[in-house]
A and B are shown apart, each in its own frame.
Chain A
Amino acid sequence: MGAFLLKRTLHIFLILFLFVSLTYLLFQVTPGSVVDKFLGNPKMTPEIIAKIRAQFGLDDPWYVQYFRYLKNVFTGQLGISYSQYPTPVWDILKDRIPRTLVLFLSSRVISFYLGFILGKIIAWKRGSLIDTSTTAVGITFWTMYYPLLAIVNIWLFGFLLGWFPINGFTNPLLWLNAPEGLTVNLIFAYMILTGFIFLILWMIAWLIAKKPELSGKTKKRIIYISPLMVVIIAVLVWGFSGYGKYAWDIIYHMILPIFTLALISFGGTMLLTRDSMMETIQEDYVMAARAKGLPPKLIRDKYAARTALLPVVTSLTLSLGFVLSGGVITESLFSWPGLGRTLLDAALMQDVPLAIGAFAFTGVFVLIAHLVVDILYAVLDPRISIETI
């Protein structure tokens, strides 16, 4: 497994390098360079232009410029935004990356879980009314034009029912009276930390529960009760700290965007799980499990669904682009200050340094996600450990 992951990591670094280079290439070959736009002012004399060009290093040979660019990208020096002059690009991005990350991860986890569970249930009951109707609902959401779904959701849940705020990341009125030094970013950082601790504890619980000596009931207890305990403790700690209402404000604003994004992407996972299960159900080891007299639910979950999971996990990387596109629209329609909306605004305002920065980080993000999926796959499939891909 180690060799496999090392190979994948190297591979991904190579792609990251190519990706950043491609960004540079596009930036260079497109007509009308940045400088032309920046220096498009007719009042500028040729002397001033020449001076500025020299300052920016634009008269250096292309390879010098290229290496300088590479160095800058990998050290996080992405220049200064035009539209929010003189804020450095990195300062804009560093606040927004975690927000996109949270939006993306939570909606992806929810939609994957939902899609996988539903997919295995309908595959097991193939041909029944539940199968047909759930598949139809899945296809509808999966092929639905996402802006329409988002707009309808905002109207339905935000306006008609009034359950959730319709946009923004926080309620400004609440934060106006917040104590000195308490910023949204600070609270959000602590929230992410809480989530992180939760994940680690859950993973430990999983590892303990994986021991074959434990009976099925004990396993279930460990896997389900331990995270519940952590959640209760976390809620109590936040509640007593007095900052709970601020955290809740952020969560309250997050629910609708995450739900909407999850709704559009669960269909893909569900349909793929179903298709994948239809193949594994015909496998001999599923028949062997039936012959062993195991309970049907165990056969479904432990045999048919477990191997069907593998191609679904692989498809996580392929569906990344889809979910990221959804993320951009979500951030735009819900006025969510994240990476996607930054990129969109930068593109609309022709703020090229910010666009490059936002795009490069989207790329880094995608590549990290690829690596995570590779690790997940290696953990899930024991065959990886000796096969060299």
Chain B
Amino acid sequence: MLVKNSIPSGSDAKIISESLWRIRLNLLQQAWKNNWQIFTEKKIGLVGLWIIGFFILLAISHPILMAYWSSQELPPEAMMGHNKSLADVYDPIRGLDLRPGKDMMPLSHPAAPSWRHPFGTDPMGRDVLSQIMYSARIEFLFGVFSALLSVFLATLVGAVSAYFGGKIDAFFMRLADLVLTLPFLPFLIFLSSLLTLDLFKLGLVLGLLGGFGGRTIVLKSQALSIKVRPYIEAAKIAGGSHWHIIFRHIIPNILPLSFFYLMLGVTSAVMSEATLSFLGLLQAPISWGLIMNFARSFGYSFYEAWWLYLIPGVTITLFCGSFYLVGRGLDTLVNPKLRKR
């Protein structure tokens, strides 16, 4: 829908003299430029992008910090037999801070935020900041994997069932109805009673559920509106094969909507993951939700160890919120009705 409208206003003769791929590239560039302009009109999407950028920095800087920490050897009197370098203190999974504080007594864990541990430590003595940074990378991989899978499937299924219609369409739509009635979290809880869920399996399940669920219906109706356009008919007459038309003409035109769902997909996947880990149903070394789960299963209330709830909770909110904001920023792009004349 957006790609089509952006034919550059150069003279026809000039376009014909250029090679096909350059025209395509040019069109694509134009389309992106237009879309970017519409996107940036709403500040809300940009705010989301900034927060995502911040999380990317957070995720990248963790391995660098770890490398730096392992080069920092501790003096023997600070070791207390366990820690050899700072990396042993700040490791997100195996770390433990046994070094004595100012009063020469070892820290009691969980420790409240201090200079040594800006976000405090968890009941097992691990540094929360390090855990948050380490998990950021995992959440990114997990969220994007699951969302990509679901959007890829939903786009393909939506385009295919819109293009072919008939029985294929009926099958996928009934399937979508079924998935739509499936309450997500109860389903995942139920699933975890049957098998042990880890991050990969969870991502797969969420991707599949998303890919055959409600998004398919919306993407299909969008694809249907593309299918009836004259240029699809023209492509058919010109001898384009089914798959050529689906991939060249239909899918590129529903991509903005797919992109919108990609953003919402990351939000919902990470939210589900965080909730499942909070409930203690996910097998993972560490994650934002698990920090809260540990605090709860060790019996610490919000009053006693607020940082173990507030910091991961706010992190999850910001992370999911940022993708949601980008999605809302894309709203105008996806729904032309909202565009101002």
Residues of A within 8 A of B (CB): 11, 14-15, 18-19, 22-23, 26-27, 30-32, 139-140, 142-148, 151-152, 154-155, 159, 275, 278-279, 282, 317-318, 320-321, 324-325, 328-329, 332, 340, 343-344, 346-348, 350-352, 355-356, 358-359, 362-363, 366-367, 370
**Given the complex, which residues of A lie within 8 Å of B178, measured CB to CB?**
15, 18-19, 22
Min CB distance B13 to A, Å, is 41
Task: Please determine whether B182 and A363 come into contact, CB atoms closer than 8 angstroms.
Answer: yes
Please list 14 pairs of residues, one from A and one from B, whose beta carbons are closer than 8 Å in the complex, sorted by A's number: A31-B195, A32-B195, A140-B321, A145-B317, A145-B320, A147-B278, A155-B302, A321-B182, A328-B189, A329-B278, A343-B186, A343-B190, A358-B186, A362-B186
- Give residues in B with beta carbon < 8 Å to A: 174, 177-178, 180-187, 189-195, 214, 267, 271-272, 274-275, 278-281, 289, 292, 301-303, 309-310, 313-314, 316-317, 320-321, 324-325, 328, 331, 337-338
Q: A15-B178, A358-B186, A359-B187 are in contact. List 13 more A-B contacts (CB 8 A).
A: A32-B195, A145-B314, A147-B289, A147-B292, A155-B303, A275-B331, A318-B180, A325-B272, A344-B281, A352-B194, A355-B189, A355-B190, A363-B183
How far apart are the CA atoms of A243 and B184 in the complex, in Å?
39
Knowing A325-B184, A340-B186 are in contact, say whether A143-B321 is a contact too (CB < 8 A).
yes
Chain B: which residue is nearest A282 at the CB level? B337
Q: Is there contact, CB below 8 Å, between B279 and A366? A: no
Q: Does A328 contact B186, Cβ atoms closer than 8 Å?
A: yes
- Within the complex, the shortest CB–CB distance from B81 to chain A, in Å, comes to 36
How many angstroms from the CA of A22 to the CA of B183 in the assembled complex? 13
B185 touches A145 (CB 8 A): no
> What residue of chain A has the Cβ atom nearest to residue B191's Cβ?
A26
From the candidates A18, A151, A332, A356, name the one contacting B302 in the complex (CB within 8 A): A151
Partner of B194, one of A26, A139, A332: A26
Complex: chain A residue closest to B322, CB-CB: A143
| Residue numbers in B under 8 Å from A151 (CB-CB) | 292, 302, 309, 313
Bound together, the chains give a CA A122 to CA B7 distance in angstroms of 38
Shortest C-beta distance, A311 to chain B (Å), equals: 12
Which of A143, A144, A359, A367 is B181 in contact with, Cβ under 8 Å? A367
Asked, given contacts A26-B191, A154-B302, A155-B302, whether A146 binds B275 with beta carbons under 8 Å apart, the answer is yes
* Residue pair B180, A324 in contact (C-beta under 8 Å): no
Residue of A nearest to B320 (CB): A143
Residue pair B195, A347 in contact (C-beta under 8 Å)? no
A11 to B176, CA, bound (A): 13
User: In the bound complex, what is the Cα–Cα distance between A72 and B320 (angstroms)?
Assistant: 41
A366 contacts across to B, CB distance below 8 A: 181-183
B186 and A152 within 8 A (CB)? no
B316 contact set on A, CB distance < 8 A: 145, 148
Pair A355/B320 contact, Cβ less than 8 Å: no
A347 engages B281 (CB within 8 Å) = yes
Task: State the CA gap A343–B313 with chains docked (Å).
Answer: 24
- Residue from the list A146, A321, A347 in contact with B184, Cβ < 8 A: A321
Residue of A nearest to B280 (CB): A348
B181 touches A145 (CB 8 A): no
Q: Could you tell me the distance in whole angstroms from the C-beta of B140 to the nearest C-beta in chain A? A: 17
Q: Which residue of A lies closest to B318 (CB)?
A: A143
What's the Cα separation between A329 and B195 when bound, in Å? 21
Give the docked Cα–Cα distance between A152 and B292 (Å).
13
B213 CB to closest chain A CB, in angstroms?
Answer: 10
Collect the chain B residues with CB atoms within 8 Å of residue A140's CB: 317, 321
> For residue A155, which residue of chain B has the nearest CB?
B302
Does the CB pair A159–B185 fall under 8 Å?
A: no
Neighbour of B321 across the interface among A18, A139, A329, CB < 8 A: A139
Contact A139 B302, beta carbon cutoff 8 Å: no
Name A339's closest neighbour in chain B (CB-CB).
Answer: B186
Residues of B close to A155: CB separation below 8 A:
301-303
B129 vs chain A, min Cβ distance (A): 18
Q: Can you list the 10 inter-chain pairs with the closest CB atoms, starting with the nearest?
A: A148-B313, A325-B185, A347-B193, A143-B321, A30-B194, A359-B190, A145-B316, A355-B193, A155-B302, A324-B183
